[in-house]
Amino acid sequence: MKKSLLLVFLFLTTATFAQKYYTKTGLTEFKASVEAFEPVEAKNNSTSAVLKVETGDIAALLFMKAFNFRVALMQEHFNENYMDSNKFPKATFKGKIEGFNLSEISDSKEYTLKGILTVRGVKKEVTTLAKFTKQGDKLRLQASFGVKPEDFEIKIPKIVSKKIAGTINISLDYEFIEKK
């Protein structure tokens, strides 16, 4: 009887105090540049992400309008004409790091990251390799993958289609710290 009470207590604590790592200043970058044309690329350094250690579940969220372009007018057109950022302010990712085991990351280790990326309300499955690096209390995730504008029903007028890459490279660099 006492044993089972202990078990209940144990289960409850693990459920409520599941170990999580998080960041609010994750860097998400995209590059859609075509050589010989003006670079089309932007950085978002306020991506929030959370990682559940036990299960390897991961989620990330960013605001489209927080993407910083070098040319401000390009940023305006990105939000207004391509991403409909007022209608779809967020992009989210929800997925899993397969076989994730925090204790086996001594220096750095690669895992398969699989999940659903939602941009402009359109879902797309993404699979890529994610590199985890342990730096003191910090856990760093780096990954990159490619998507196409048509994956998210982004219409690009013919007149500019030559200046925007067919495959857009997205790279992530998130430095997680333990959530207490």
Partner 1 sequence: MLKKHLLIFCASLFVLSNVTAQDDLLSELDDDSVDTSYELPAFKAMKIGNLQSTKMADKGDFYLIVSHRFGALKEGFDTFLGLDEANTKIQLLYSFWEGVQFSLSRESYNRTFAASAKVRLARQSSKMPFNIVGYTTINRNTLIDETIFPALESNDRNSYATQLLVSRRFSENFSFQIAPTYVRENLQNLNVLPEANHNQFAMGFGGRYKISKRMSLNAEYVYNMSRPDGSPFDNSYAFGLDIETGGHVFQLLFTNAQSTNEPGFINNAEGDILFGFNIVRVF
Which secondary-structure segment (H or E) carries 139?
A: strand 138-147
Beta carbons of 23 and 177 less than 8 angstroms apart: yes
What CA–CA distance (Å, rounded) separates 20 from 52?
5
Q: Of the candidates 19, 25, 37, 76, which one interacts with partner 1 according to CB under 8 A?
A: 76
Interface mask toward partner 1 for 130-159; x: CB under 8 A = -----------------------------x
Return the residues of window 161-180 that contact partner 1 according to CB under 8 A: none
Alpha helices in 17-103 (DSSP H): 72-77
Alpha helices in the chain (DSSP H): 2-16, 72-77, 158-161
Confirm or reject binding of residue 24 to partner 1 (CB under 8 A). yes
Confirm or reject binding of residue 52 to partner 1 (CB under 8 A). yes
Confirm or reject binding of residue 71 to partner 1 (CB under 8 A). yes
SS3 label, residue 86 = coil
Binding site for partner 1 (CB under 8 A): 1, 3-5, 7-8, 11-12, 14-16, 18, 24, 46, 48-50, 52, 55, 57-61, 63, 65-66, 71-73, 76-77, 79-81, 84-87, 89-90, 92, 94, 159-160
